[in-house]
C-alpha cells in the first residue's frame, strides 16, 4: 500500500468510528480551541531516561512557559513508563482497542484523543528519536484514524554533535509525522552541541523552550 492509500484507508476506517463514538460538536472542539487561542490541553511526550538530562530540562522550561500562558500540560515520560512495542497484530484495525493494556493504553491514549496539541521532546539517538519515545509513536497506530484531526504540535530535541546535517533525519521524521497527521507545527527547539546531562541549563536552548511554551 502506498502512502496515499495508507492515509485514505485509515482515514475512512476512522471516520466511521469517530462518527459513532464522538458527539458532533466535539469533533470540531480541538480546531476551535486552537484557532481562538483558548486554553489548550497539551500532551508533552518525553523520551530520555536521564532524569536530570537535557531534554527533560527542555520539557520543564516548555511546560513553565505553556502554563504561564494559561495552558494545561500533561506530561508523559516514555522512559519509566510501561509502553510495549506495537506487534502489528492489527487487532485495532488502526482505530480501535489495542491488545496491550499498559501505560500507553491506560494513561496516554485518552489524553492524546482529547489533546489540542502534542509536543515531542527527545534526545537524538543514532540520528533519530530515542527508542522509548519511538515505541510511543508507533502505538499511535491503534488510534491512527482518530488522531487524524487538527492539532498543534512541537518538537524539542538535543544532541551532542554540532553538525546541523546530523539533525536533518530526526527533524524530517517529526515533520513527516506532523504532515501525515494533519497537525500544525508551531515551533521547534533544536539544540546541537549538548552532550553531558544537564549541560543545556543556562543555554539559549532552555530559553527557547520556555519561549516556545509561552508563545502558545
Ligand atoms: C544511545 C545514544 C545514542 C546517541 N546518539 C547520538 C547521535 O546520533 N548524535 C549525537 O550528536 N548525539 C547522540 N547521543 C548523545 C545525546 O543525544 C546527547 O547526550 C543528548 O544531550 C542527551 O539528551 P538527554 O540528556 O535528554 O538524554 C547519543 C546518546 C546515547 C545515549
- The domain spans of the chain are 3-214
- CA-nearest residue for atom 8, ligand 1, is 126
Tell me which residue has its CA closest to atom 25 in ligand 1: 53
pLDDT of residue 6: 53
Per-residue pLDDT tens digits for 9-22? 454 444 333 323 33
Query: Could you read off the pLDDT of 167-198 as tens digits, one per residue?
Result: 999 999 999 999 999 999 999 999 999 999 99
CA–centroid distance, residue 129 to ligand 1 (Å)? 10
Distance 195 CA to ligand 1 centre (A): 7
Bridge partners, 72 (sequence order): 41
Cβ count near 141 (within 10 Å)? 17
Output the pLDDT for position 38: 87
Write down the architecture of domain 3-214 according to CATH: 3-Layer(aba) Sandwich (3.40)
Read off the pLDDT of residues 20-74 as tens digits, 9 standing for 90 and up: 333 333 344 555 555 556 899 999 999 999 999 999 999 999 999 999 999 999 9
Burial of 46 (0-12, 13-18, 19+ CB in 10 A): buried
Residues 6+ apart with CB under 8 A from 152: 34, 40, 116, 117, 118, 183, 184, 185, 186, 216
Using the atom order of ligand 1, give the atom closest to the CA of residue 57.
Answer: 26
Q: Quick one: which atom of ligand 1 is closest to the CA of 50?
A: 27
**97-155, pLDDT tens digit by residue?**
999 999 999 999 999 999 999 999 999 999 999 999 999 999 999 999 999 999 999 99
Whole-structure pTM value: 0.89
Amino acid at each position: 500500500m502506498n502512502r496515499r492509500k495508507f492515509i485514505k484507508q485509515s482515514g475512512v476506517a476512522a471516520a466511521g468510528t469517530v462518527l459513532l463514538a464522538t458527539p458532533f460538536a466535539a469533533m470540531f472542539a480541538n480546531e476551535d480551541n486552537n484557532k481562538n487561542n483558548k486554553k489548550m490541553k497539551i500532551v508533552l511526550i518525553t523520551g530520555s531516561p536521564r532524569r536530570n538530562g537535557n531534554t527533560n530540562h527542555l520539557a520543564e522550561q516548555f511546560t513553565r512557559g505553556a502554563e504561564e500562558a494559561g495552558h494545561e500540560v500533561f506530561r508523559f515520560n516514555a522512559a519509566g513508563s510501561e509502553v510495549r512495542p506495537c506487534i502489528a497484530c492489527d487487532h485495532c484495525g488502526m482505530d480501535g482497542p489495542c491488545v496491550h493494556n499498559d501505560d500507553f493504553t491506560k494513561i496516554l491514549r485518552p489524553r492524546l484523543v482529547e489533546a489540542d496539541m502534542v509536543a515531542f521532546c527527545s534526545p537524538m539517538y543514532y540520528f533519530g528519536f530515542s527508542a522509548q519515545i519511538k515505541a510511543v509513536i508507533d502505538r499511535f497506530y491503534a488510534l491512527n484514524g482518530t488522531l487524524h484531526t487538527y492539532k498543534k504540535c512541537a518538537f524539542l530535541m538535543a544532541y551532542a554533535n554540532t553538525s546541523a546535517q546530523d539533525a536533518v533525519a530526526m527533524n524530517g521524521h517529526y515533520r513527516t509525522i506532523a504532515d501525515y497527521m494533519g497537525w500544525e507545527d508551531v515551533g521547534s527547539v533544536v539544540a546541537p552541541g549538548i552532550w553531558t546531562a544537564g549541560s543545556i541549563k543556562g543555554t539559549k536552548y532552555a530559553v527557547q523552550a520556555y519561549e516556545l511554551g509561552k508563545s502558545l
